[in-house]
Structures are given as C-alpha cells and as structure tokens.
Chain A
Amino acid sequence: MTTFSISGKGKKQHTFDAIVIGSGITGGLAARELTQGGLKVLLLERGPMVEHIKDYKYEHTDPWRLPHRNMVPQAELADYEIQKNLYLFAQDSKDFFVKDSEHLYIQEKPFHWFRGYQLGGRSLLWAKHCYRFNEQDFEANQKEGIGIDWPVRYADIAPWYDYVEKYIGVSGNRDGLPQIPDGSFLKPFDMNIMDKHLRKRIKERFPERDLVIGRVAILTENHNGRQHCRARNLCHRGCVFGAPYTSNGVAIPDAARTGNLTIRPFSIVESLLYDSKKRKVAGVSVIDAETKETTEYFSRVIFLNASTLASTQILLQSKNRDFPTGLANSSGVLGHYLMDHHGSMGAMGGYSGYKNSYYHGERPASVYIPRFVNLQKQEKDYLRGFAFENYTSRSDWTRGFHERGTGADWKDNLTKPGDWFVYFEGYGEMLPYFDNHVSLDEHQKDQWGLPLLRISMSYKENEYKMRKDMQKTAIEMLEASGMDWITPFDHNAPPGSVIHEMGTARMGNDPRTSVLNKWNQAHDISNLFVTDGAFMTSSACQNPGLTYMAFTARACDYAIKAMKKGAI
C-alpha cells in the first residue's frame, strides 16, 4: 500500500477529484468505489496507518506471551474510561481504541462513544453481522407516522445489498425469512448441537420464531483473493488470511491498486470549505494530528464518512454565513434524531446434556433469532421489534472463578469441557426522537482547538416497554429449551453501548425536514455526500453495517455518473 504525505502548498498537488473523510467501514468502501470509477481520491484518516498484516501486532501471539495475559494494567485503564467497558477491550485490541483521555466529549446524559481512530477505523473491530433491512423497515415510519418517511424502498436498495455482499463475502444460509431477506451468501458456518437443540425447541413452542446461523462478513470459502476463516475467533487482532471483512484488508488495498488513491493519516478535518457563489463545497481544512499544522485540500466532490457523530460534528464545525447553524443545515435537523440499538439485556442459561458433543475450532459467529414481534400486525404495546444474538458454547475453566473447589479432582474437572452455556442478547429498534441530539460546546475545546461534542440521548417509553418484552421472550425461549438454570440480565448500559449509533443527518424527500436526499447527497449542497450511519432515518433492529455499505456503494455510483454528466 502506498502512502503519500503531502507537504507542499501548491494548490495543484492538493487537488483531487474526490475527498473521502474517514477510512472505516463506509469510507474504505467509498474510496474503493470512487477510485475504481476512475476518480483520483484523497482518503483522510485522523489516526495512524494500520497496514494489513504488517500492523497486526498480536495476531499470532500465544496466550502466555500476551502482556499480563491480555489484562490491561490499572495505570493504563485510566486512559480508557469509556472504551474499557467493551467486551473486546483488552491488551490485544486496545491499540485499535481511542484513549478517552485524549479524545474528549461531553455526556449531557450518559453515552458511551466507542471509537477507533486509525486507518480502517472500527472496521477492525466490528462483529461483522450482516442482515438486510426488509420492506417493512423502510415503510414503518410512513405507516406509523414516526419521524419522516424513508426516501427509498427495499427494492431500491436490494441490488446494492447484492453488490456489497458479493464484494465483501457474507457467509449465511438462505432461510427464506421476510424479516431478513436472503442475499448472495457464501456457505454458512456449522451449527453446533446446542444451536440445533435451541432451534428445534423454540420452533416447536413458538412457530413464528426462527433461530438461524449468523450471517457474517467472514469467509467460509476462499473469495476474491482472500482466504477462508481458520476458526480462531480472534478477528479483532487482525487476520493474515483476510477472512473477516475490514477496510484495511479488502477495500483500501483494492483502492490502492487502482493507482488513484492517496491516503493521508493523522488528518483531523477542521471544516469543509464552502464556495458560497457556486453553492458547493470546495475542499477541506485539515489539522495534522501530530504537528497541529493546518493544510487545505480541494476536490470536486466530498464524501463524509467519519462515523455518524464525527461526520455531524464536522458539519456543525463548518458553519458559515450561509449556514449559520451548521453546513447543509437549512432544515435545522442536523444533529437531531440520534439513534442506537438498545441491547445489553436478555438471559443466559446452562444445560448439562449433550455431554459427548463438542466442536472443533472457535466459531467467530453467533446464531441469530430475527425479529418476530409486530410483523403481520401491531400486537404489542410498543412499536417495532428486536432480534437476538445467541452465543452457545461448552463452558471453559473460567467457570472455576465462580465455584467452590480446590485440589486434584477440581483441577482435572476444569480441564474438561463444562456444561453448555447459552447467552441470549437482545438488540432492539430505537425510534428517532428530536431531542436525542448532539451539538457543539461553546467553550470547551480539545487539544486541536476544536469544540467538544455534547451528546444528549436517552431511551424513551417505547424502548423501555420493548426491553421488558425482550427479557421476557428470552426467558421463555430458554425455558422452552429445557435449560437447567436461567439467569436474566440487564447491564443497564447507556445509549451508545451497542455501537450502532446512527442518524443526526437523516435522509428524506423533503429538504425542510431532512439533511440528505435519497442519494445520500446534501439537499443544500450537490457535491457533498454523507454515507456513514448519520444518514439513517430509522434504525430497524438489524446490525446496520451492511446497510451503510449498500447505501455507500449506491451513492458512489450516483456521484460518479453525475460527475461524468457534469451535473456535479
């Protein structure tokens, strides 16, 4: 991969066809689509380079060679006040998380903002679940009078789901369920005996509930020059085989191979430059994260992919005379209608049967129960619905943490696979609310002189009612499956915790109530596109990464064609 660091001040060297801000799951793909479309692209990343394979520091490290056996020392934890709460956060992943102590924001209400500032962003850490939104998901707002209508329907996006699935490689089964339309899948991961047990028992008792193998952007077969998964379940350390989809391993190298890509790391976008005569964005002003020097870059089109909140933050920072409350904000809704999924709740159980059944390897994918409520008709006292990710495994020696025991027999028992452990975690749809919003603080600034983002978000009645049902249904499914013990849990995690934050620059048909049109193009500024989670008009309950990528590829296609026609 070639990296160019531009130091000259000549405008010509600083001019590109397109600038993509952010290199995560959507920015990486945008860079790939635009470079393959023949555009010279500058890809800006606020953090350091992470080069595929070369920068995967711990991929092959044996457990006993990991510093502190992968626990993070107290002295370092202090820098990761928020990030440390994530299940993935440990010695082998912490380099891919920001230090909260260096990247400040203000929680008007509790909000966990998990971030990875490096090339590839959080694409290095995502759980890789890929479920299509369905027809109903795109129609629900309009039918129920919630928020605004989506300016697109499933049929508009379906070909782009196909396109992205074929590119990134999604393993899964064609289950024929309308809630999660089938796509172009590589062969599914195996189910273990407990998955099959749960699937059968749940279906017998609740015919409308299906347990399916997780659909994940992890290769089960060699695909597009990448190799199949080796079943280590250590994707977060990086994968030499390129089996999990990441920007670093797939889209960015593909973009680089076109010869049209320039990557500039350590580039914090201060603002977008606006040409008020042409009513277009002309470029970006960038602060070098290390030297704090400011530079400008110019382009015909700008793709904003800095991640939901950071993209909106950049638009707010870019306010000017024409747009006094934030760039492209003639509607006044920029920053509003922030959503996440609500999760961290469900139930777990144990099962002492199937003692003679085990599995080989560790599967980097859970099984999944797609939404089963409010489908045919509105039947609950809340709108929309939820899905479950379900983890099943034989318990390991850490069960010894929680049990009385000493000596030879206890020890030898711990070397054996323990009882089956089952974990159902719900992921619920969150409705868009105007007062869940972000804004810029008027006084407090970060070390680069940029105003801190204030985040104000809370769950409301619909989410709380749904959560009760989420837990109830988790328990009743575990009961139907004959578990020996069942323990419900609710971690009371604040918004942000599912790391599906979305909205704040929503798309819609009406420029008076939305920031973007159906092509992810700003209503106010024709050469500005926002294709990360900020564009979302509603959240559904499916993991959103695949949807972000489908809209990104579609927007890139539109932009390239519009540029060729001279419309942009």
Chain B
Amino acid sequence: MTSAVEIVSQEDIGDLIKVRLKVKSSEIFSVEGTKLDTPDRSSDYHQSLHSGRVTHRHNTYTTDETIYISSPFSQDELDAKVAEIVAVVDNTQVSDFDHNNSDVQERMFIGGENEKLFYKTTQAPSSVISSFTTAFPTENLSTISLISTPSYHNIVDDNVISTFLWEDDIPQLVIDGVKCIARSRKYIVGLQKKYDRCYTFTAGETFSFLPEGCTPLAKSFHTNIDDGLTLPNFYDVYFTGDSTIVEEAFSLPSKVGKETTYYAVTVVEGTVRRAKQYCYDATTAFYDWQATVERSSSNHGVPWI
C-alpha cells in the first residue's frame, strides 16, 4: 500500500516545532471481504460486480496527526516521525472496515402494539427459527432471506410468520402477470397453511381513507394460497406521510424509527380495519421504501406514482 502524506501546517512553538499532517491510505478494495487490487471503476470487471450483484467495497483510511519535533530539526528527524505514522496507515486491513448490519431489520406495530420484528434469517434469534421450523418442519430455511417473529393477525385470526424468499430477489418480479415490487410468504402458524402477499404499484390510484399529504407507495394482493385455506377478502395499502398526521388519523400512539417510518392500512370490504407502523432504526434492508419502489418501477419501466 502506498499512503499519501500531506503536511497541513508547521508552527514554531519555542523549543519545538508543531507539525500537523494527514496521511491517507491508498484505496483498499475488497470483494466479499477479500482484499484485491483496486480495479478501474469503469472497467468491465468492476461493472460486472454491479451487474452480478456482488458485494464489494472501496475504502480509505486517513489519519490527522500533530507531531512535535525539536527545533531546529533535520529532514531525517521529520522523515522518521512521518514514517511511524505511514507505517500505521499502511497496516490498515480490510477488517478495519467491517461492520455488523443491524440484527433487527424492521419493527412493525399493529394498532400501535403487537410488535413484530423482522430479521435476516442468518441473524434471527433461535426462538424465531424454532417457531418457524416447529410449525413448518418441511420448509427449507435456506430459501428464506428474511423472517419475522410470529404476530397475531386479527383478520386471519391466527399468528403469522412473514418471510421473504431469495428467489423473489429479482429486478423484474412478475406474479400472475402483475408487475410487482416484492412478494412475501405468510405462514399461518396455527393452521399450518401459507399464502403469498404481493406488493404492486398503485398506478395513480387514490385512496380516500389516506390522510391528506400522505403518498401511497404500494398495494397488496394475495396469491398462491394453500389448499384448504380461505382468506378473508382484504388488501393493504402502504404509504408514507407525516407521523403526527398519520398517528392522529388512525389513533395510533407515537412510534417512529430512528431512520425512517412508514405506514400501511388493511382494508376489508372497503373499510380500514387496522393501521400499521413500520419503524426502521438503522439503514436496514427495508428502511427506504420509496427508493425501493422507485428502483422497481424503473426496472419494470412503469411510473411508480
């Protein structure tokens, strides 16, 4: 690694000279955690990482240091001091940039209570995994990217575990001929049945039950319903809006995420039966609904609003 040294300032303070300098590492490039030579960003290789959806990182490390050397000083003295700092910067490792994604991807509340948490399957507490595998022992966990805690669904009248599948992680998801943003698989714990909820574009549809100023982002429909399972006729509308307005409109307690908060209402036979708050305390998988919808609409070539 070759670090760049910049002498920012130099000041005589009597018997010492105060030197402020910055030492910046060269780019530390890694793919899936393995350090590699830094590629040209416009190269085919680098572009293939994007098109292939490969996790990779470009990182740098800069230290801002003030050192003191005897006055007058020799160039050798200064060089020796600088060399100490450069050695530290040169020793920067890929692991110095490691991060842990937040365990809880989403906190969802129904009617302001009944908290439901979403996890990456690989990070989910064993109790969550156990709840799922006990009720659905034949399901393959490796196909599931995200999984929730069981939560009582007052329309279905049972506990439901929500999941997202890896196979649906595609840019142009089409279900039953409908262009979709995403799909989740719902597992009804007591009945041991499942169905899919698809999230599609609102396509300019307006919803009179949304408070003024709120923007609809998606609407759901159900498909792939297990034999023997009869679902009530309901759908959800997902939207963004000012928290105080939404809370007042649906008589919800104040609940907001540290990063973002979104909302949904469940509509049964044309009537709003419940309101949900989705809180994101970090920049997790779901935390930016609007960006997700915009990206999906771009992929599908349809307007999102």
- Physical interaction between A and B: no
Q: Which residues of B are interface residues toward A (Cβ below 8 A)?
A: none
Q: Which residues of A are interface residues toward B (Cβ below 8 A)?
A: none
